[in-house]
Amino acid sequence: MEYKITNAYCKRVWDDLSARYADQGHFLQAAGLVLQTISPVVDKMPELEKTAVLERLVEPERIIMFRVPWTDDKGVPHVNRGYRVQFNSAIGPYKGGLRFSPEVGLDVLKFLGFEQILKNSLTTLPMGGGKGGSDFDAHGKSEGEVMRFCQSFMTELYRHIGADTDVPAGDKGVGGREVAWMFGQYKRITNAWTGVLTGKGLDFGGSLIRPEATGYGLIYFAECMLAKMGTDFKGKTCLVSGKGNVAQYATEKINQLGGKVITMSDSSGYILDEDGIDAEKLAYITELAASKARISEYVKKYSKAKFFAGEKPWGVKADYAFPCATQDEIYEEDAKKLVANGIKLVAEGANMPTRAEAIAYLQANGVRFAPGKAANAGGVAVSGLEMSQNSERLSWTREEVDAKLKNIMTQIHDNAWNTAKEFATEGDYVSGANIYGFLKVARAMMAQGLC
Ligand code: GLU
């Protein structure tokens, strides 16, 4: 992908970065899109170059890499690789999830960590950007094996994190169960109960609405986009991909708002249920996901639905689309199908599910597009609220947290919308979110000097 990086300073940083990290395609895509969209603002701020803000922004403050030894149920030893990318702490402690998945390595974690800097800035809360994880694959592993892995992972990670230093949470492959095991191990080693992880259980410092937050926040954000388009969810048909936490709660919220979700998916394919995935059917999907069963089981129970092996749902006719599975779900040919099928809005529940070429195609064809760093920021926003509650030693009610989440998503939307109007094109949420998120971090970095 050729990025239209019009500012000379941005271009110089990009040329150096793309030569240095030529093997990190996901990271380069995340950085390229940011350098492209902030170019008009950098034009007006020569002070950025004088303090090397961009060179510093694209280089993590610190990367920790370590081995994670563990034994399986037969006593056979295994070794995985563990990482924490502490990308930027200008506006708050490093904050971002841990991903346990075979694709985890420096490319994926640097892209996720870089996105997290601007995402966390957009939430309006004081959180820096970080990401971590391991190439460990929990599929086919027993509970005991996953617990021993989590404990071993934390036995090294604990010395690098802390409630005021770096606060990890979950991501793909890391849910409440894994967070709890890692929290237990951290507490055991340090002999201190602190809010060092978010996404904890409700009985030990977790926040209400945290499990729902990414999916609900995505749909609150989409509601704001639809209001600008003069419409809403009532009677509208939606494509959702994924079947995990984000996809589940996005579907629940769409149902509550009178919309109809007709697809969900996993890496084996997608299901199409023209009658809509209602609350009862969604409960079944949640059960399948919890037991790590394949989505094709759905059509055995609901025989009117169809399963398409190895395919993605983007060729189905609908009004709105919500990619909620993982990165690289929508390529340019998928974007063409979405446009041809009359999709009016695409909002990312996952991190970078849409390739840069596909974003350009959607935007050029009048589809309103929201990038994940704005639309899926509800998860980390409620993580930030969990940190506040832990510091206060208080728990807020479900209604309080939900109202704060909705308010934050509305602010993110309005800030991105207004910024796009001022510096780019009306309705260009990619530019609006990147510029707004960047400016806060850049101001903080300049104020703190060359560090
Ligand atoms: N993994 C989530 C994200 O991509 C949440 C991170 C967090 O809560 O710290 O934003």
Task: Specify the CATH number for the domain of residue 135.
Answer: 3.40.50.10860
228 and 367 inside one domain = yes
237 CB near ligand 1 (under 6 Å) = no
- For a mutational test of ligand 1's pocket, the pick from 119, 383, 386, i.e. the residue with the most ligand atoms closer than 8 A to its C-beta, is 383
50 and 77 inside one domain = no
Kindly state whether residue 88 falls inside one of the protein's structural domains: yes
152 and 217 inside one domain = no
Distance CA(215)–CA(211), nearest Å, equals 9
**Would you state the pLDDT for residue 292?**
85
pLDDT tens digits in sequence order for the chain, 451 residues long: 899 999 999 999 999 999 999 999 999 999 999 999 999 999 999 999 999 999 999 999 999 999 999 999 999 999 999 999 999 999 999 999 999 999 999 999 999 999 999 999 999 999 999 999 999 999 899 999 999 999 999 999 999 999 999 999 999 999 999 999 999 999 999 999 999 999 999 999 999 999 999 999 999 999 999 999 999 999 999 999 999 999 999 999 999 999 999 999 999 999 999 999 999 999 999 999 998 899 999 999 999 999 999 999 999 999 999 999 999 999 999 999 999 999 999 999 999 999 999 999 999 999 999 999 999 999 999 999 999 999 999 999 999 999 999 999 999 999 999 999 999 999 999 999 999 999 999 999 999 999 9
Residues 6+ apart with CB under 8 A from 115: 30, 129, 351, 352, 372, 373
Kindly state whether residue 389 falls inside one of the protein's structural domains: no
| Number of domains the chain contains | 3
Q: In 3D, which of 431, 277, 249, 417 has the Cα closest to residue 349?
A: 249
**Would you state the pLDDT for residue 285?**
98
198 CB near ligand 1 (under 6 Å) = yes
95 CB near ligand 1 (under 6 Å) = yes
277 and 182 inside one domain = no
**Would you state the pLDDT for residue 120?**
98
Cα(177) to ligand 1 centroid in Å equals: 16
Question: For ligand 1, what atom is nearest to the CA of residue 127?
Answer: 9
170 and 30 inside one domain = no
Q: Residue 246 belongs to what domain range?
A: 213-375
Residue where a domain stops, chosen among 358, 375, 392: 375
Q: In 3D, which of 275, 261, 269 has the Cα closest to residue 304?
A: 275
**Would you state the pLDDT for residue 423?**
95
Kindly state whether residue 129 falls inside one of the protein's structural domains: yes
Residues 6+ apart with CB under 8 A from 30: 111, 114, 115, 352
242 and 222 inside one domain = yes
Kindly state whether residue 87 falls inside one of the protein's structural domains: yes
The domain spanning residue 246 has which CATH number?
Answer: 3.40.50.720
Cα(31) to ligand 1 centroid in Å equals: 19
Kindly state whether residue 105 falls inside one of the protein's structural domains: yes
369 and 222 inside one domain = yes
Kindly state whether residue 441 falls inside one of the protein's structural domains: no
Kindly state whether residue 198 falls inside one of the protein's structural domains: no
Query: Tokens 């998120």, residue?
Result: 437
Rg (CA), the chain: 21
How far CA 270 is from CA of 137, 302, 327, in Å, comes to: 22, 14, 16
Question: For ligand 1, what atom is nearest to the CA of residue 95?
Answer: 9
234 and 189 inside one domain = no
Distance CA(206)–CA(2), nearest Å, equals 43
**Would you state the pLDDT for residue 191?**
98
Residue where a domain stops, chosen among 331, 351, 375: 375
45 and 75 inside one domain = no
Strand stretches in 62-155, DSSP E: 62-71, 77-88, 94-100, 129-134
pTM summary value: 0.97
Kindly state whether residue 429 falls inside one of the protein's structural domains: no
**Would you state the pLDDT for residue 1?**
81
Structure tokens at 65: 């890499």
DSSP per-residue letters across 135-189: S---TT--HHHHHHHHHHHHHHHGGG-BTTTEEEE-BTTB-HHHHHHHHHHHHHH
380 CB near ligand 1 (under 6 Å) = yes
Cα(84) to ligand 1 centroid in Å equals: 14
327 CB near ligand 1 (under 6 Å) = no
Query: Tokens 């998916």, residue?
Result: 265
316 and 181 inside one domain = no
Q: Is 301 a catalytic residue?
A: no
19 and 71 inside one domain = no
Residue where a domain stops, chosen among 360, 375, 390: 375
164 and 258 inside one domain = no
Question: What residue owns the CA closest to ligand 1's atom 9?
Answer: 96
In the set 95, 110, 131, 243, the catalytic residue is 131
- For a mutational test of ligand 1's pocket, the pick from 171, 200, 207, 376, i.e. the residue with the most ligand atoms closer than 8 A to its C-beta, is 171
Distance CA(225)–CA(220), nearest Å, equals 9
